Structure 1
Amino acid sequence: MAEYHYDVVVIGAGPAGEGAAMNAAKNGKRVAIIENKEMVGGNCTHLGTIPSKALRHAVKQIITFNTNSMFRDIGEPRWFSFPRVLKNAERVISKQVKLRTQFYARNRVDLYTGNAYFLDPHRIEIRGSQTSSEVLNAKNVFIATGSRPYLPADINFRHTRIYNSDTILKLSHTPRTLAIYGAGVIGSEYASIFAGLGVKVDLINPGDRLLSFLDDEISDALSYHLRNNGVLVRHNEEYESVEGDENGVVVTLKSGKKLRVDAFLWCNGRSGNTDNLGLENVGLEPNSRGQLTIDRQYRTEVEHIYAVGDVIGWPALASAAYDQGRSASSELVGDSFFRYIDDVPTGIYTIPEISSVGKTERELTDEKIPYEVGQSFFKDLARAQITGEPVGMLKVLFHRDTKAILGIHCFGDQAAEIVHIGQAIMAQEGEANTLDYFINTTFNYPTMAEAYRVAALNGLNRIF
């Protein structure tokens, strides 16, 4: 019988890899993790979730200062450069790296730096490390290598004015005009951030509406507020060419339109990081997007090799990735916490932010489920009036006969926090998952959580 140096080897130290490694280690497994960056945290910490949300927070503070009349006693509105605002994100990143590095040390997880390469199904070589190449012998493997922006070959991303959602964090100036191609979550978030810095933004959307997976009313609200903040949204447009020169970028669209901008940002699609892993040596073949196929236990076609996080595709969220890693590890160690992650709340950090969980109105209508709507508008809540954040609403969808909660949709300040109250009630069994909970529960006043009570009463009034 073969001897294994490690019970578990995890490839990738992002949220998915961390979740798998920590749970395995806490269950007594000998664990190693391989990371190709100098610091742990993955793209979530260094290129995606953390920096973009830290950027957003700083920009939101700037908007508050520049638009709130109370601050005029301190001084006139101020202009902030993108690199200066980015320093706030760098501070948060360093704190996250320090915290996560401590996790691995505390739980006796061996951390290797380099590129993982499968020699065979159980042996993984670490290439490009500062020391000589090492080979780890693993009984079980978790592939948690994440994803990167999909980059079409006909756009020169080496040009100093053409960026993708990773390289935009190296932007050393603040453009006056910016074209963003792709109006998904990342594109919409960056449109909000740059518009908040006073940049004139063209958001080019190959589809016919923003974030079509959202409830229609929430999608419409996002469109309105992006336009209200100076973003020009161009629907049903595809690029013909993107050409950069010394002074800027010319974007030619298939419709014949031409845009001349200072900088161009590509935010259209991501690919799984599965190339150069030596997967051909273990009999695994990614799809055209570099993603691996798994079963409901997160196993690939090779029984002892699991895959979690962005590398398996949907939902490609940091929150889901951590839970996927932990759950796949639970399946391996046989504890009681395994679950297949398929009910994930949406958190979109535009300005204002968006969050939802459960069914949309369109889905309930198509399924012919008799639902009703309870609404609460933030402009009517005392807490929103106090904080000066009147934009937004909470929408609760519920079954008109049983009053069971079917969907929660929130748009506005703190939406990603507010949604979790509704999520918790939706997860309850029987009569505990009904509109009555919000009516029969006393909420602190004034709070944003009170929106649930207001929405529940509004919905109750619609039932006859």
Structure 2
Amino acid sequence: MWCMAKKKYDYDAIVIGSGPAGEGAAMKLAKSKQRVAMVERYKSIGGGCTHWGTIPSKALRHSVSRLIEFNSNPLFSRQDHPLHLTFHEILKHTESVIQRQVKLRGSFYERNAVQIIHGEASFVDKHTLQVTNRDGSKDLISAEKFVLSTGSRPYRPKNIDFSHPRIYDSDTVLSLQHDPRSIIIVGAGVIGCEYASIFRGLGVKIDLVNMRDRLLSFLDTEISDALSYHLRNSGVVIRHGEEYAKVEGHDDKVVMTTESGKIMSADCLLFANGRSGNSESLNLETVGVKPNERGQVEVDEHYCTGVDNIFAVGDIIGYPSLASAAYDQGRIAATAMLEGSCETKLIADIPTGIYTIPEISSVGATEEELTAQKVPYEVGRALFKHLARAQIAETQVGCLKLLFHRETREILGIHCFGERAAEIIHIGQAIMEQKNGGNCLDYFIDTTFNYPTMAEAYRVAALNGLNRVVD
């Protein structure tokens, strides 16, 4: 076990950054009777996840999704005069969610006696931090060990003027005040696709500029194609294989010219192409840690940076850059700090949730991966439009797709497209994690599901797949 730090240090451990990764580490260390401090440069705790990323975008998406449901439901809406809300109006709900999250997360630190220090951290040596306080004053604090969990920020190319009032990144877009009629979104990754759904749901005209040849190429192709279809069907213009050459901000519009010579004009532009690790202000070179060109830090299997008392977790180390995984990384790193190693690892199949409209979630292998590996698999599908619960809720767009081994019936991958996909996926994930033969398609056939529910899609998909392998 890691012994208590010598009295010459102020703390046993200091965690820098209060997002999910930092919280996971701080809670594990504090519950193990360590003296822990949390340094957070922002005025409130929670990190980018709470204030600019996961929570705000998902809260916005929820509000827009409910607006779409209201306007499409004949019981409530007037088709000749649909309800319209501005981006600024739906931000009010988002802001209330953020406030509740900050209050909740703050109670965790208070209950576990973790001291929160608001300020900018910078290493003086491997055991000492200089903290620049919000009033400009500076303090020195020391610890036996450190956790870097400073997260990431949107990548900003130097040839785009982000100080212009009509040019945004995925953080500053939350300060958008006017009601745009059109937006150019540069970057069709997860963030770009989510905001394309959000703004299109508000009736904004969208040009979604994708530098690749299809959306979200890490997804199963069928799911990626379904997203493309539904975005286009809603009116989003998707431009594949394009890169910007020039972005010009004017008083009343933004004009973008692509490398191929296309010219697009819109009320504003959202640049959502890549992220950079928040490492530049930490003075890491002083202690022998060298970030890469994207500001990310390399770590070993226990999240140690190579400097024996400095660990790093979350977005600052890159993949998988998921809030859910970051919290687990924090706990694993803290265990390694306490015990010298940690047998627990991130699960092999980490579920992904993409909060577009409709929603997407996946776990395990794609068809393309299984084909490349020459695995004899089969597919079982359940279309939401055939489920009673989906018909009742008027959420009939989407499907559940099971990939399983033809001979053993082991579930190899699950892909879901449609409302509540990120919730539905966890039923299948639980079965995939079962050992000693517990991961089997037959489970979904033999068990009894509540009726009517969306969970019933697993039985429908399993039977559909079984019909393909039974003579």
Would the TM-score normalized by the shorter structure come out above 0.5? yes
What does 1:216-365 correspond to in 2, within 5 Å? Answer: 216-334=221-339, 338-340=344-346, 342-365=348-371
What does 1:47-446 correspond to in 2, within 5 Å? Answer: 47-72=52-77, 76-130=81-135, 132-334=137-339, 338-340=344-346, 342-446=348-452
1:130 is displaced (CA, Å) by: 3.8
Distance in 2, Cα, partners of 1:343 & 1:199: 36
- How many residues are paired up? 464
Distance in 2, Cα, partners of 1:359 & 1:13: 32
Distance in 2, Cα, partners of 1:74 & 1:25: 56
- State which drifts further: 327-336 or 70-79: 70-79
**Per-residue deviation, residues 12-62 of structure 1 (Å, max 9, x unmatched):** 001100000001101111110100001000000000100111001111111
- 1:455 corresponds, among 450, 456, 461, to 461
1:337 is displaced (CA, Å) by: 7.0
- 2:9 corresponds, among 1, 4, 9, to 4
Given the superposition, is the C-alpha separation of residues 190 and 60 from structure 1 closer, same or farther in structure 2, using an over 3 Å criterion? same
Q: Secondary structure at the match of 1:271?
A: strand
1:343 is displaced (CA, Å) by: 2.9
**Per-residue deviation, residues 280-329 of structure 1 (Å, max 9, x unmatched):** 11011100000000011111010111100000001111111111111111
The aligned residue for residue 3 of structure 2 is none
Identity %: 60
Distance in 1, Cα, partners of 2:161 & 2:393: 45
Q: Secondary structure at the match of 2:297?
A: coil
AA aligned opposite 1:254: E
Q: Is the 8 A contact 1:324 1:341 kept in 2?
A: no
**Per-residue deviation, residues 62-119 of structure 1 (Å, max 9, x unmatched):** 1111111111379941111110011110010000000001100000001000000100
Distance in 2, Cα, partners of 1:61 & 1:411: 17
RMSD: 1.4
Q: Secondary structure at the match of 2:454?
A: coil
**Per-residue deviation, residues 345-370 of structure 1 (Å, max 9, x unmatched):** 11000001000000000000000000
Q: Is the 8 A contact 1:297 1:340 kept in 2?
A: no
TM value normalised by structure 2: 0.96
1:452 is displaced (CA, Å) by: 0.4
Moved over 4 A (4+): none
Q: Secondary structure at the match of 2:96?
A: helix
Q: Is the 8 A contact 1:239 1:251 kept in 2?
A: yes
Q: Secondary structure at the match of 1:183?
A: coil
**Per-residue deviation, residues 121-156 of structure 1 (Å, max 9, x unmatched):** 010111133484221211110000000001000000
Distance in 1, Cα, partners of 2:60 & 2:66: 10
TM value normalised by structure 1: 0.98
AA aligned opposite 1:458: N
Q: Is the 8 A contact 2:365 2:413 kept in 1?
A: yes
**Per-residue deviation, residues 367-404 of structure 1 (Å, max 9, x unmatched):** 00000111000000000000000000000100000000
The aligned residue for residue 44 of structure 1 is 49
Distance in 2, Cα, partners of 1:11 & 1:125: 12
Distance in 1, Cα, partners of 2:177 & 2:146: 40
Question: Is there any run of 5+ residues in structure 1 with no aligned partner, and where?
Answer: none
AA aligned opposite 1:421: I
Q: Is the 8 A contact 1:331 1:338 kept in 2?
A: no
Q: Secondary structure at the match of 1:139?
A: strand
